[in-house]
């Protein structure tokens, strides 16, 4: 009996600076017969994320001419394990392919949240939203009526953080983004009180205008000049939750200089803490309890840019690195189950 064919993407060369489509190759691979305790997933949605740029380098985790990883949602279409019956919807990390062979310990069965879009499990209910939740509640410990600045605010983590901060009672929410259109989206649709285009330097002046009374919290997704500006604007005893540094992912050999005012962390008694969401997976039930009712009621949506078709997965990844998305960048590989 013939076996199905999976369309896959491999990394075939290391980027020097900004990655290009030439660093990747599309291949066809025959899915082998399943062994005991294995299941075959038809992938429906795949996430493309900033951290993947680091994985492409020699010091990263992606090997050349080998399968790649990433957050993926799919449906079990063949199974040799009772733990994953046909039709089960799962989350796994065997990404960049149309079909994936998985075992139960490599998957998470998705909870059945009626009325919540499946793609939300990669967006505001997935690692993206969990990063925002952990940064705001566990690291920065945002309190009601405080002023928060969110960099890369129109991206996946940024939009989720803005929505969560508002629900947590933040007094003033300020964001930076990469275009006038994104700035308008933040203030016109996502409830930010103020926003600015980070190309309109100097950033310190833009931030001072947006938060004239200073900041209590900064959620950092950028690093570099954004971190410097935020340190300058933070009030005494302010908190910084450092989630990412997208400004330097393409320049790891020569990263931007450290903030010139770093000693102000001491002078202002600031707290700066970096975190990895994988160390806080136990917070996911908290996120579900907090957001699922809001999603069901329509009070909150999962902000997404959806690119359809596996053939566009590399383009979606490269576009995400250039800021082509508003909200979470997701690639839809197949139709969602009814």
The pLDDT value given to residue 116: 95
The pLDDT value given to residue 236: 98
Place of tokens 């038809």: 42
The pLDDT value given to residue 245: 74
Q: How far apart are CA 97 and CA 305, in angstroms?
A: 20
Q: How far apart are CA 307 and CA 89, in angstroms?
A: 21
The b/e string for 287-298 (b: 16+ C-beta within 10 A; e otherwise) is: bbebbbeebeee
> Is the preceding omega at residue 202 within 30 degrees of 0, hence cis?
yes
Per DSSP, the three-state class of 127 is helix
Given a cut of 60, whether residue 90 has pLDDT beyond it is: yes
The pLDDT value given to residue 256: 64
Q: How many CB atoms lie within 10 A of CB 19?
A: 22
Structure tokens at 104: 């139960």
Per DSSP, the three-state class of 218 is strand
Given a cut of 90, whether residue 258 has pLDDT beyond it is: no
Predicted confidence (pLDDT) per residue in 6-18, tens digit:
999 999 999 998 9
Predicted confidence (pLDDT) per residue in 18-34, tens digit:
999 999 999 999 999 99
**Domains identified in the chain and CATH numbers:** 5-123+302-332 (3.90.180.10), 127-278 (3.40.50.720)
Average pLDDT over residues 212-230: 95
| Residue 33 burial by Cβ neighbours in a 10 Å radius (0-12, 13-18, 19+) | exposed
The pLDDT value given to residue 246: 65
Do residues 150 and 138 make contact, with C-beta atoms less than 8 angstroms apart?
A: no
Average pLDDT over residues 152-171: 96
Query: Given the DSSP bridges, would you call strands 72-79 and 89-92 parallel, antiparallel or unpaired?
Result: antiparallel
Nearest CA to 152 among 323, 331, 330, 324? 323
Do residues 219 and 131 make contact, with C-beta atoms less than 8 angstroms apart?
A: no
Predicted confidence (pLDDT) per residue in 223-255, tens digit:
989 999 999 999 999 999 999 876 555 555 556
Read off the pLDDT band of 52 (50, 70, 90): very high
The pLDDT value given to residue 2: 87
Predicted confidence (pLDDT) per residue in 294-323, tens digit:
999 999 999 999 999 999 999 999 999 999
Q: Rounded to the nearest 5°, which phi and psi values hold at 62?
A: -85, 125
Mean pLDDT of the chain: 94
The pLDDT value given to residue 244: 81
The pLDDT value given to residue 49: 93
CA neighbours within 13 Å on the CB side: how many for 181? 4
Nearest CA to 313 among 155, 50, 98, 58? 98
Q: Where are the alpha helices (DSSP H) in 153-305?
A: 156-167, 180-188, 203-210, 224-233, 264-267, 284-297
């Amino acid at each position: 009996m013939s076996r199905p064919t999976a369309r896959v993407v491999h990394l075939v060369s290391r980027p020097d600076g900004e990655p290009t489509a030439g660093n990747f190759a599309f291949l066809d691979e025959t899915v082998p017969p399943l062994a005991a305790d294995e299941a075959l997933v038809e992938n429906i949605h795949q996430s493309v994320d900033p951290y993947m740029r680091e994985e492409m380098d020699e010091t990263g985790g992606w090997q050349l001419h080998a399968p790649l990883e990433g957050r993926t949602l799919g449906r079990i279409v063949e199974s040799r394990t009772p733990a994953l019956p046909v039709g089960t919807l799962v989350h796994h990390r065997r990404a960049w392919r149309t079909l994936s062979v998985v075992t139960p310990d490599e998957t998470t069965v998705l909870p059945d949240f009626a009325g919540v879009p499946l793609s939300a499990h990669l967006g505001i209910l997935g690692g993206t939203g969990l990063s925002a939740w952990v940064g705001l509640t566990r690291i920065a410990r945002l309190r009601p009526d405080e002023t928060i600045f969110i960099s890369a605010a129109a991206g996946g983590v940024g939009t989720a953080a803005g929505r969560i901060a508002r629900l947590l009672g933040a007094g003033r929410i300020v964001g930076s983004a990469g275009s006038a259109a994104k700035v308008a989206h933040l203030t016109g649709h996502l409830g930010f009180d103020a926003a600015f285009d980070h190309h309109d330097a100097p950033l310190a002046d833009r931030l001072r205008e947006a938060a004239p009374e200073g900041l209590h919290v900064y959620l950092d997704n950028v690093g570099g000049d954004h971190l410097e500006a935020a340190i300058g604007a933070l009030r005494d005893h302010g908190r910084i939750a450092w989630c990412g540094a997208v400004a330097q992912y393409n320049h790891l050999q020569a990263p931007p200089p450290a903030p010139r005012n770093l000693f102000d962390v001491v002078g202002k008694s600031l707290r700066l803490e970096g975190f990895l969401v994988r160390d806080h997976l136990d917070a996911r039930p908290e996120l579900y309890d907090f957001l699922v009712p809001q999603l069901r009621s329509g009070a909150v949506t999962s902000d997404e840019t959806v690119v359809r078709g596996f053939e566009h997965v590399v383009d979606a990844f490269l576009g995400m690195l250039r800021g082509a998305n508003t909200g979470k960048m997701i690639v839809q590989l197949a139709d969602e189950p009814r």
